Amino acid sequence: MRRKMTGLLVVIALALVAFLVQDASTAATLTAEDHAEINQLYARYSYGVDTQADDGWLYARTFTEDGEFDYGAPQPARGRAELRELARPGGSWDQGAGGQPRSWHVPTNILIEPTADGARGTAYLLLVNGAEAGGPVITGRGVYTDEIVKT
């Protein structure tokens, strides 16, 4: 009985090792160009939402057609049309500053990890308001967690 139990444990251990090796090999590697493109994606996202550029489409195009943004509203924004609605002039996030952003989204400490389907991005967010008197003030913070796919 002891010999059968030892044999079973060895089989289970080998199966676990094989699974872990297979799982590790499915994660793609990212090139320096991939990292640069992902950093540009974060920059376009922030610039697009802060400036309402291209009538909100610059922001919306940082997502895939079926992308979604869950920001704590009762329902996440799904698809580019809803995402554009957030960032367009007169949209949900309109800052009403005549084209000049009152606040800036500043992603920091961007961590990019390869996955089987692309990459996982994680970044801290600082929301900085350009206070009229006394200089800029950090008014919010958060964490972005993103599934990134190459299109």
pLDDT tens across 21-63, in order?
A: 455 555 579 999 999 999 999 999 999 998 899 999 999 999 9
* For residues 65-88, average pLDDT: 92
Domain coordinates in residue numbering, the chain: 33-148
Specify whether the CB–CB gap between 41 and 119 falls below 8 A. no
d(CA 60, CA 40): 14
What is the band of 17 on the pLDDT scale with cuts at 50, 70, 90?
very low
Specify whether the CB–CB gap between 130 and 136 falls below 8 A. yes
d(CA 115, CA 25): 10
d(CA 38, CA 36): 5
Specify whether the CB–CB gap between 41 and 72 falls below 8 A. no
Predicted TM-score (pTM) of this structure: 0.75
Per residue in 90-109, pLDDT tens?
A: 888 876 655 556 788 999 99
Instruction: Give the count of alpha carbons within 13 A of 24, CB side only.
Output: 6
Spell 56-66 as b/e; 16+ CB within 10 A means b: bbbbbbbbeee
What is the band of 13 on the pLDDT scale with cuts at 50, 70, 90?
very low
CATH topology of domain 33-148: Nuclear Transport Factor 2; Chain: A, (3.10.450)
Round the average pLDDT of the chain to a whole number and report it.
83
What is the band of 5 on the pLDDT scale with cuts at 50, 70, 90?
very low
Residue-level pLDDT at 10: 44
